Amino acid sequence: MMCDEVTHDLDAYVDRELNADSIVAIRSHVSACTSCRQRVAERETLGRMVRSVPYRVAPDRLRARIVAHVQRRRSVHQMFAWAAAAVLIVSIGAAFMFVRSATIQSDALAEDLVDSHVRSLLAAHLFDVQSTDQHTVKPWFLGKLNFAPPVVDLASVGFPLVGGRLDYVSGQPVAALIYQRQKHLINVFVWPASTEGSGARARTIRGFNVRHWVQNGMSLWAVSDLNDAELNEFVHAQQMSPPAR
β partners of residue 185: 180
For 164, counting Cβ atoms within 10 Å of its Cβ (0-12 exposed, 13-18 middle, 19+ buried), the class is buried
User: What pLDDT, on a 0 to 100 scale, did the predictor assign at position 81?
Assistant: 59
Contact 176, 160 (CB under 8 A): no
β partners of residue 174: 167
User: What pLDDT, on a 0 to 100 scale, did the predictor assign at position 94?
Assistant: 45
User: What pLDDT, on a 0 to 100 scale, did the predictor assign at position 100?
Assistant: 43
Q: Which amino acid is at 1?
A: M
User: What pLDDT, on a 0 to 100 scale, did the predictor assign at position 85?
Assistant: 61
User: What pLDDT, on a 0 to 100 scale, did the predictor assign at position 223?
Assistant: 96
User: What pLDDT, on a 0 to 100 scale, did the predictor assign at position 97?
Assistant: 45
* Cα–Cα dist 56/39, whole Å: 31
Contact 89, 95 (CB under 8 A): no
User: What pLDDT, on a 0 to 100 scale, did the predictor assign at position 191?
Assistant: 94
Residue-wise pLDDT tens digits, 104-153? 456 788 888 998 888 888 866 788 999 999 999 999 999 999 999 999 98
User: What pLDDT, on a 0 to 100 scale, did the predictor assign at position 121?
Assistant: 86
Q: How far apart are the first and last CA of the chain?
A: 38
β partners of residue 161: 179
Positions in the chain whose pLDDT score sits under 70? 48, 50-58, 62-63, 70, 72-106, 123-124, 195-200, 243-245
How far are the Cα atoms of 2, 42, 71, 78, 199 from residue 75, in angstroms, in the given order? 69, 50, 10, 5, 52
Contact 137, 130 (CB under 8 A): no
Contact 223, 186 (CB under 8 A): yes
3-state secondary structure the chain: CCHHHHHHHHHHHHCCCCCHHHHHHHHHHHHHCHHHHHHHHHHHHHHHHHHHCCCCCCCHHHHHHHHHHHHHCCCHHHHHHHHHHHHHHHHHHHHHHHHHHHHHHHHHHHHHHHHHHHHHHHCCCCCCEECCCHHHHHHHCECCECCCCCCCCEHHHCECEEEEEEEEECCEEEEEEEEEECCEEEEEEEEECCCCCCCCEEEEECCEEEEEEEECCEEEEEEECCCHHHHHHHHHHHHHCCCCC
